[in-house]
Structure 1
């Protein structure tokens, strides 16, 4: 019986000794597997999509008529809305007519007399020349007769006076013809030109005021919201449409003070969005110079870890159009 117990104990000891290496390898594999699973992965930061909107307004008031709807994509130069502009159109028409009147007056001042008026002056001049020639002939005859004593000195003086009057009339008509080709005086023409420029400036202002009654998209963008409905009264300077251009779509997240030195403007980041299969590449565009949270104690090594800084990233226009403000995102630093 004792012999049987000894043999049984010997067999158990051999079995235990043979299983020890196997247990060791199993334990080693478990330790290696756990260490592999616990290897540090790139840290994922949590953030959100933010929008920087463009608020489009008009400098004047009026009843609005919308040309776009919320959620619509618009191209640069597309009409957004227009305000009633009856008064502005009337002012523009009045300014245009005043400019036309002033330009006509300027042209008239630069011209001489009308052709019919010049023709009448020339006819009077020819008539005066004929009368002058007759007066000279009469004066010549009177001088010959006076030399023979046939006429008195009084008669000779009368003929001389008539010749001088016709000669002066001829010179006066010559001067009038020259003046007729000159137009108005230089000072009057300068005043007319200044009046034209002043009225043209008023016309340009009227055109600008009319143009401000309707607004167009400054760039390609999403109509994020319409703040008024067609037919409503809009006060001067109040935004009517808010636009979200692709450049206004930004990702925001916060980074601790200890990791701030590893990021700079232009650094690449990878953004993951729920519902997107692909990872979106972005670049850091802004790093806040001030912490978002400052504890009410002095900075120490223990408290510096509590400081976080706002980081903003931008996307390519092709990716930005598919992102929406408020959307949560996961961000990893690096490319």
Structure 2
């Protein structure tokens, strides 16, 4: 009888000793960005090392853009030649306008003489006809010159668009970081050939890190966005540190419990992922295990 009591007592002790002292487990993550090449060519400069801290907008790599600059110079030359070929409308019609003005002076003189009987109707008809012919020529010439000018302007605008497209491609030969963070992986080296879409570097914002923990449906009623919780980082052995965390995101859908995660209720098959933001003091790393206490 005593043996049975001892066995039961031992089982109770083991059960109490293995009871989870946390409400949820997870691993630390950070926002990671893979920066890929937007241009094709040889990498001329790539003075970035893994572990370096970089700022948003900081240059990362420079890809050869000589051919693009040459194409741009050719287009600039074409544009200049095209604009110089535009007709000087006023100069080209100046002679016609002058002739018309002279004939109109003559027209008024003949009209005055006609009233005094010093000129004939034929003289007036002749000068009127000459004016109509010259005005018709002026109208046709202006139409042709304006059409030519419009065509040249349209062609010039098309070249400007090509230059803008080249400027965009040239700008993409300089890869920059979209975020401030730490270089995790460097995928290419200076001197290698880059292709469009080829990964160059992976960067993570380790300053603002979060723990992705998993809660059962019963626990969700106890947490909401913005709640402050205690996050414990497990560095192995007896090295554990507590941090203040805030609930930043709660998954709207459940998922099967990850094999590497232990929940407070070991029978729970479905859990909800929750992101808990933690300010990194420099010790927290991606993949580090962590626990949450509500």
Name the TM-score, length of structure 2 as normaliser.
0.67
- Of 245, 261, 277, the residue aligned with 1:282 is 245
Deviation, structure 1 residue 283 = 1.8
Number of residue-to-residue matches in the alignment: 259
Find the counterpart in structure 2 of residue 33 from structure 1: none
Q: 1:281 to 1:101 in 2, by over 3 A?
A: farther
Counterpart CA distance in 1 for 2:79 and 2:228 is: 59
Counterpart CA distance in 1 for 2:76 and 2:283 is: 48
- Of 185, 197, 220, the residue aligned with 2:145 is 185
Find the counterpart in structure 2 of residue 10 from structure 1: none
Deviation, structure 1 residue 219 = 2.1
Deviation, structure 1 residue 66 = 0.7
Counterpart mapping for 1:125-144 below 5 A: none
Find the counterpart in structure 2 of residue 63 from structure 1: 42
Q: 1:265 to 1:303 in 2, by over 3 A?
A: same
Find the counterpart in structure 1 of residue 87 from structure 2: 109
Deviation, structure 1 residue 248 = 6.8
From the two aligned structures, give the one with the greater helix fraction: 1
Alignment partner of 1:328 is 2:292? no
Q: 1:54 to 1:41 in 2, by over 3 A?
A: closer
Counterpart CA distance in 1 for 2:33 and 2:199 is: 9
Alignment partner of 1:237 is 2:189? no
Deviation, structure 1 residue 85 = 1.5
Q: 1:322 to 1:84 in 2, by over 3 A?
A: farther
Structure 2 unaligned runs (5+)? 1-16, 107-122, 259-264
Deviation, structure 1 residue 228 = 0.9
Structure 1 unaligned runs (5+)? 1-37, 133-162, 295-301
Find the counterpart in structure 1 of residue 10 from structure 2: none
| 1:259-281, Cα deviation, whole Å (9 max, x unpaired) | 23222333222223357997422
Alignment partner of 1:269 is 2:229? yes
Deviation, structure 1 residue 255 = 2.0
Deviation, structure 1 residue 176 = 11
Q: Secondary structure at the match of 1:325?
A: coil
- Of 218, 221, 233, the residue aligned with 2:181 is 221
Counterpart CA distance in 2 for 1:324 and 1:69 is: 18
**Preserved contact between residue 111 and residue 183 of structure 1 (Cα < 8 Å):** no
Q: 1:269 to 1:92 in 2, by over 3 A?
A: farther
The structure with more radius of gyration:
1
**Preserved contact between residue 246 and residue 320 of structure 1 (Cα < 8 Å):** no
**Preserved contact between residue 271 and residue 329 of structure 1 (Cα < 8 Å):** yes
Q: 1:320 to 1:110 in 2, by over 3 A?
A: farther
- Of 76, 80, 93, the residue aligned with 1:96 is 76
Deviation, structure 1 residue 178 = 7.0
- Of 14, 18, 30, the residue aligned with 1:51 is 30
**Preserved contact between residue 57 and residue 179 of structure 2 (Cα < 8 Å):** yes
Name the TM-score, length of structure 1 as normaliser.
0.60
Counterpart CA distance in 2 for 1:42 and 1:293 is: 18
Q: 1:247 to 1:184 in 2, by over 3 A?
A: farther
**Preserved contact between residue 110 and residue 183 of structure 1 (Cα < 8 Å):** no
| 1:283-332, Cα deviation, whole Å (9 max, x unpaired) | 222333122239xxxxxxx996343332221234xx37653201222322
**Preserved contact between residue 48 and residue 252 of structure 1 (Cα < 8 Å):** yes
